[in-house]
Homo-oligomer: A and B are copies of this chain.
Amino acid sequence: MPEPQKRIVIVGGGFAGVYAAKYLCQQLSRARLTDVEVALVSRENYLVFQPLLPEVIAGTVQMLHTISPIRRIVPDAALHVRDVQEIDLAAGTLTLEPGYIPRTHELKFDHLVVALGTRLAGASVPGLNDHAIPFKYLGDALKLRHHVVHVLEEAAITTNAEERRRLLTFVVAGGGFSGVECIAEMHDFLRNAVRSFPSIEASELRLILLQSAEAILPEMKPKLALFAHRILAGRGIDIRTNIRLTAVTAQTAITVHKQTGETLAIPTRTVVATVPVEPHPLLASLPCAKEKGKLLVNNFLHSTEWPNVWAIGDCAAIPLADGRFAPPTAQHAVRQGKRCAENIVARLTNRPLQPFSFQSLGSLASLGRHSAVAEVMGISLSGFVAWIMWRAIYLTKFPGWDRKLRILADWFMDLLLPRDITELRIFPPAAVRREHFIAGEVLFHQGDVGDRIYFVVSGEAEVEVNGEIVATVGEGSVIGEIALVKKTPRTATVRVKSDLDAASVSSETFHTLVAHFPGVKEAMDEIMGRHLAADSVRDSTVKSL
């Protein structure tokens, strides 16, 4: 392919990026600028329609119907399904991650539209990246949906009452639109699903919504937010306001009360995180003015330092006439995409730029079970009418008439048919992963099956044999190699003394590494030798008593 005369590159395949591409293609064709290429770089080849994601959990909308193929929305843009590795504003180039062939791919640009959105700020809460399920992409919704069925299946056969309670407790962090809609749909799904599990009572299900603000849905009028709160609480959802998630482990969610500072450990196998979010990490590398990490632009949507660099959507700080910044909603993103496209074409054709301004049309939150809250053009609605409006509005907003029809059909089928309770086991446990533990938790109990080996990154743990503490281990220690190497049950219990971070490796991968990774076998033999020697010293001490 010959290089085009000019190229506009858009990075990010959310509403802002995709609609910018769509309007750019339209405007360029209208202005007969045929030698300008529009390239869109997106990590997925589809646009996610976030408001429908919670329905994937419930199964009321089929998974693939909540997304729309970008190629069908913008057939004339050059789509690069890749992650962006680096952006060099001065050189006017960006570097994309390699595909099958391990060479990076460079793309020159004359104009760059940054629409990279936000990500879950996992690093700010210990254990969040390791143990919580985010709720942003379709893959997340799919994972959550099947995880929820998985814990039901586990609860059905476990004989341990404490573990059963843990499995049947579900925590969602974040009381905004995403968190509220997510827990509402999870609740609907779970109540429905447990009917197929004769050994589980619906009353055993515990759903907890954590909200750090004083009320849920702070974006809405207090009256509507209160209505939503009452509806959800009335169904048995435990809404905890002024509560922040402070740490997550494989078996616990730790929360703190914002006023009293009181902490609470909630035993659970399911933590869904919709907060906190942060702008895409690549933004930090751009030499532009920022506002709370977001790329600061003027009201024409371009950077003041780099007039050919534009930013729109959730990763952009866009000043409005009232002095505030544009809120991070899809409505705004779509309009920003349009204005940005118009302004780029104005620049190319030497016409004056137009400022961005937009008045929100309103907001909606679905509460499940044919109920919702809505504020549309100043009118507040709640209950069934709001729910009908929720469905009607989102259906008309969904890009592509084929998808609209499919979603309608799904909703219709849901009225007639029982919900699906199948579990797709397509997410194998990671071979190598980071794990977070809080004081008091155990890595494993004496007698357990040896499934992983742990390398302590920070924190301390105590090793107990037959109830007696025999050692304290800390940073740099190796834990649990004996059961893996000798294929015996765990010879000790390891209990965390102070919050501990570890890297863990699955048994299978450990054996592959020992067999092939030079130095590993020798190091393991040496460490195990020391551990076993300590054991035998203890044994002889015990015997001599």
Write the residues of chain A forming the contact surface with B, with a CB cutoff of 8 angstroms: 1, 43-46, 59, 62-64, 67-69, 71-72, 75, 78-82, 98-105, 138-139, 142-143, 149-150, 153-154, 156-160, 163, 167, 196-199, 251, 269, 402, 405-406, 409, 413, 416-418, 420-427, 430-432, 434, 444, 447-451, 455, 457, 476, 478, 490, 503, 505, 509, 512-513, 515-520, 522-524, 526-527
Given contact pairs A409-B409, A425-B139, A417 touches B432 in the complex (Cβ within 8 A):
no
Task: Verify B422–A45 contact, CB threshold 8 A.
Answer: yes
Residue of B nearest to A67 (CB): B422
CB <8 Å contact, B448 and A102: yes
Neighbouring B residues of A75 by C-beta, 8 Å: 196, 198
Q: Is the CB of B519 within 8 A of A524?
A: yes
Bound complex: CA A512 to CA B455 (Å): 10
Q: Can you list 12 pairs linking A and B with CB atoms under 8 Å apart?
A: A1-B159, A44-B422, A63-B63, A72-B196, A78-B157, A79-B157, A402-B418, A405-B416, A406-B413, A430-B431, A505-B513, A520-B523
CB distance from A46 to the nearest CB of B (A): 4
User: How far apart are A517's CB and chain B's nearest CB, in angstroms?
Assistant: 6
Residue of B nearest to A198 (CB): B75
Return the contact of A478 from the options B104, B424, B518, B526 (Cβ within 8 A): B518
Q: Which of B45, B430, B526 contacts A149 (CB 8 A)?
A: B45
Residues of B within 8 A of A139 (CB): 424-426
Q: Report whether B167 and A431 are in contact in the complex, using a CB–CB cutoff of 8 Å.
A: no
Closest chain-B Cβ to A170's Cβ sits at a distance in Å of 15
Q: Which chain B residues lie closer than 8 Å to A44 at the CB level? A: 422-423, 425
Q: Is the CB of A423 within 8 A of B81?
A: yes
The answer to whether A138 touches B198, judged by C-beta atoms less than 8 angstroms apart, is: no
Copies of the polypeptide in the assembly: 2
- Contacting pair B513 A432 (CB below 8 A): yes
Q: Is the CB of B420 within 8 A of A413?
A: no
The 7 closest A-B pairs by CB, nearest first: A519-B523, A455-B516, A46-B422, A402-B417, A519-B519, A102-B448, A139-B426
In the assembled complex, the CB of A371 is this many whole angstroms from the nearest CB of chain B, namely 25
For residue A216, give the distance in angstroms from its CB to the closest CB of chain B: 30
Residue pair B425, A426 in contact (C-beta under 8 Å): no
Contact B431 A509 (CB under 8 A): yes
| Chain B residues with CB under 8 A of A405 | 413, 416-417
User: Are A513 and B513 also in contact (CB < 8 A) when A102-B451, A139-B425, A198-B75 are?
Assistant: yes
Q: CA of A46 to CA of B78 in the docked complex: distance in angstroms?
A: 41
Cα distance, A156 to B409, chains bound together (Å): 33
Whether B449 lies near A196 (C-beta < 8 A) is no
Q: How far is the CA of A142 from the CA of B426 in the complex (A)?
A: 9
Residues B153 and A81 in contact, CB atoms below 8 Å apart: yes
Q: How far is the CB of A61 from chain B (nearest CB, A)?
A: 11
Q: Is B518 touching A527 in the complex (CB atoms < 8 A)?
A: yes
CB distance from A11 to the nearest CB of B (A): 15
Given contacts A196-B75, A405-B413, A520-B520, contact A157 B451 (CB under 8 A): no
A426 cross-chain contacts in B, Cβ below 8 A: 139, 142-143, 426-427
Nearest-neighbour CB distance to chain B for A382, whole angstroms, equals: 32
Query: Do the beta carbons of B449 and A72 come within 8 Å of each other?
Result: no
Residues of B within 8 A of A417 (CB): 402, 405-406
Most buried by B among A63, A156, A517: A517
For the complex, give the distance between the alpha carbons of A149 and B523 in Å. 44
- The CA-CA distance from A520 to B520 in the complex, in Å, is 6
Residues of B with C-beta under 8 A to A413: 405-406, 409
* Closest-CB distance, A267 to chain B (whole angstroms): 12
**Residue numbers in B under 8 Å from A503 (CB-CB):** 512, 515-517
What chain B residues lie within 8 Å of A520 (beta carbons)? 517, 519-520, 523
Using A413-B406, A417-B405 as known contacts, say yes or no to A154 and B423 having CB atoms under 8 A apart: no
> What is the minimal beta-carbon distance from A64 to any residue of chain B, in angstroms?
5
